[in-house]
Amino acid sequence: MRPTAVNTAIIVAAGEGRRAGGDKQFRRIAGAPVVVHTLRRFEACASIARVVLVLPASDTARFFASLESYGLKKVVRIVAGGASRTESVWRGLQATSATAASIVAVHDGVRPLVLPTEIDSVVGAAHETGAAILAAPVIDTIKEVDGESRVVRTLPRSGLRRALTPQCFRHDLLRRAYERAMAEGWEETDDSALVERLGVAVRIIEGSARNIKITTPDDFRIAEALLREEMNDRASDSMAYA
C-alpha cells in the first residue's frame, strides 16, 4: 500500500434518524454514543490519518467540544450536513483537499461495527483501482416486483451484493462525481452509484454482515449486543495474557 498519511475519512452522521426515533447517531449504546463507536474504528485504523465528521448543524460545536473526552484525535473538521445525504457528503468533501486526501473513505456514522482491517482493505483496493467499496453477499432470495406487488422475476443471488461502507475513491474521482451530481441534481443512496454514473468500474471487497447500519429501534439492540460481545472478547483476551 502507498503511504497512508494523506488518506481521509468522511463520516456522515447528519441524518435525523426518524425511523429510529431521532438523533440515532448520538444515542448511547455499550457505554458511548453510536457515532463515537464508529469514530473509534477509524482511530484504530492504520490507513486513515484524518477524519471529517458531518453532523446536524445544531450539534457541531457541542460535539467538537467532546472530542478530547472520547480520545478522538483524528477528527480535524466537523461540518454541518445538508438537506440530503448527497449534499452532506459534498460538504464533507469540500472540507478536504487533493493534497490532504489521496483516498477518501466515506462511511455511515451509524455503522459502528465495521472492522479497522476492513477499512484498510477497501482503502488499499482504492489505491490500486481508484474505486472500491465494502459489500456483503445476499443470503435471502430477492424478488423483483411490479407496482401491484406481483413478482416479476426472482434474481439470482450469486450476482448480488449488499453495499456497505466505507466506500473509497481517489479524491479527484469522487470530487468529479459529486460536482456533476450537484450540477445535475443527482440523488443516490450511496457514493458508488455516483461514481458508476461516470462509467468507472468499482471493485468489491467482501465485508462482514455484522457491519449493520442502525436504522430501526431493533437495530440498536442488535448493535449493542454485538458491541458488548466484542468488549467481552477483548476483556477475555486481556485476562488470558495478563
Domain of 179, CATH number, reads: 3.90.550.10
- Asked if residue 142 belongs to a domain, the reply is no
**Arithmetic mean of pLDDT over the chain:** 91
- Asked if residue 143 belongs to a domain, the reply is no
Q: Does the pTM exceed 0.85?
A: yes
- Asked if residue 82 belongs to a domain, the reply is yes
**Mind listing the pLDDT tens digit for each residue in 102-139?**
999 999 999 999 999 999 999 999 999 999 999 999 99
| Cα separation, 238 vs 242, whole angstroms | 6
- Asked if residue 32 belongs to a domain, the reply is yes
What's the pLDDT score for residue 22? 57
What's the pLDDT score for residue 233? 81
What is the pLDDT confidence band of residue 12, given thresholds at 50, 70 and 90?
Answer: very high
- Asked if residue 113 belongs to a domain, the reply is yes
Give 193's contacts (C-beta < 8 A, 6+ positions apart).
none
- Asked if residue 156 belongs to a domain, the reply is no
Beta bridge partners of 80: 55
Contact in structure between 52 and 126 (CB atoms under 8 Å): no
- Asked if residue 81 belongs to a domain, the reply is yes
Give 212's contacts (C-beta < 8 A, 6+ positions apart).
111, 113, 219, 222, 223, 226
What's the pLDDT score for residue 3? 45
What's the pLDDT score for residue 235? 74
- Asked if residue 141 belongs to a domain, the reply is no
> What's the structural domain count of the chain?
1
Q: What are phi and psi of 152, to 5 degrees?
A: -90, -45
Indicate whether 2 pLDDT > 50.
no
What is the pLDDT confidence band of residue 24, given thresholds at 50, 70 and 90?
Answer: confident
Indicate whether 237 pLDDT > 90.
no
| Cα separation, 190 vs 202, whole angstroms | 13
pLDDT average, residue stretch 212-230: 95
| Percent of the chain whose pLDDT exceeds 70 | 91
* Residue found under cell 481508484: 130
Its domain, for residue 174, covers 8-131+165-240
What's the pLDDT score for residue 54? 97
Lowest mean pLDDT among 73-82, 95-104, 121-130, 159-168: 95-104
pLDDT average, residue stretch 229-241: 76
